[in-house]
Amino acid sequence: MKLWKRAAAAIKDRKSLLAVGFSRRTSYRNADLEAAVIKATSHDDSSVDYSNAHRVYKWIRSSPLNLKTLIHALSSRVNHTRSWIVALKSLMLLHGVLCCKVPSVVGEIRRLPFDLSDFSDGHSCLSKTWGFNIFVRAYFSFLHSYSSFLSDQIYRHRTNRRLEKSDSVIQELDRIQKLQSLLDLIFQIRPIADNMKRTLILEAMDCIVIESINIYGRICSGVIKILPNAGKTDAATTLKIINKATAQGEDLALYFDFCKGFGVSNARDTPQFVSIPKAEVEAIEKMIKNVDEDESKKEEEEVMEEEKAMIVLERPRLQTIITDKWEIFEDDFCFHDEKAIKEHQNPLPIVVSNQPVYIEYSMPDLITF
């Protein structure tokens, strides 16, 4: 059955090569480059055709115009396949292109030309391929973010002029945080099924291990570079990055142990990275403590100022005033006038006297019914 599958896969690759040979020539078509892409992403899971992969890299380095041909060939190859082997080899090939360090090429890719976020192999039952499917999806997720990150860095390098010191620190902190996110994605790329100890998986893990060393080394160098320039406003973010970098160093050691046990050749020796100086970390922590104390003092001073500014309103005390000078208003003349009293329709008993007046009213009977 395995021989039949390999023969059928070889026939598919041969048909793809013949289709390239008879395809119409256009400005963005390169038959030799497309043939190299097909051979580098063949259905053979027992080996990786590095010679044709290096031919692809040579074409890309020679002229950035060949990128269109590569994108067309890879996207057509991946979109028409249901094999995890072809999908994984395509990811490995594109990973190598991103590592070519050709700014004009990396800056143009930005996003991967295909989508493998929900990839599922269609040549075998799910019970045999679920581990490979997860591996391909995790690899794609990392490369998708990695290509976007590299493109953004190249764009910033081209467009940014000389920045202020504070702006450059903020930009560097943002770059380190993105690298840490990429390293978290790398840790998700690992074989988890029992039937995944294949040559192709081991080759892919070799590439991933090298990339993890590269990214973590950039994180550490970035942290050491930023420590002397970190100010009070950036101290909290810097300390957060340092703590995460320390935790990721432990995760990387565990990742290497896993890869070493699985048989990945590049994980035999755990790399030694330059440790972050403790004195610098203590200085950052002290800076954050001072900032917190300053803020608390400032808040206390603001509260005291508000208390001083408050006006306490007291109820005025009533005082008895004895005087023989009384002010008479017009209303008093009106009611004391006899004519006005007579003209009043329902006059009440009005008595003008210096003596108090008592008016007696009979209380209603509220008890008798």
Cα 229 to Cα 220: distance, rounded to the nearest angstrom: 15
Domains of the chain: 166-295 (1.20.58.150)
Q: What is the mean pLDDT of residues 130-150?
A: 96
Q: How confident is the model at residue 134 (pLDDT cuts 50, 70, 90)?
A: very high
Share of the chain above pLDDT 70, in %: 73
Burial (CB < 10 A; 0-12, 13-18, 19+), residue 51, is exposed
Flag whether pLDDT at 48 surpasses 80.
yes
Q: How confident is the model at residue 15 (pLDDT cuts 50, 70, 90)?
A: confident
Classify 134 as helix, strand or coil. Answer: helix
Q: Provide the H-helix boundaries in the chain.
A: 2-21, 31-40, 50-62, 66-79, 84-98, 103-109, 126-159, 165-187, 199-226, 235-262, 278-309, 330-336, 338-343
Looking at residue 145, its amino acid is S
Cα 81 to Cα 61: distance, rounded to the nearest angstrom: 27
What pLDDT, on the 0 to 100 scale, is given for residue 334?
Answer: 47
Which two three-digit tokens encode residue 326?
A: 């009384």
Give the closest residue to 207 by CA, choosing from 273, 138, 265, 136.
265
Residue 143 contacts residue 208 (beta carbons within 8 Å): no
Which two three-digit tokens encode residue 238?
A: 């810097």
Cα 105 to Cα 159: distance, rounded to the nearest angstrom: 17
Q: What is the CA radius of gyration of the chain?
A: 42
Give the closest residue to 148 by CA, choosing from 108, 118, 177.
108
The residue assigned the tokens 């057509």 is 76
- Render pLDDT for 232-251 as a digit per residue (tens, 0 to 9): 777 888 889 999 999 999 99
Q: How confident is the model at residue 157 (pLDDT cuts 50, 70, 90)?
A: confident
What pLDDT, on the 0 to 100 scale, is given for residue 106?
Answer: 85
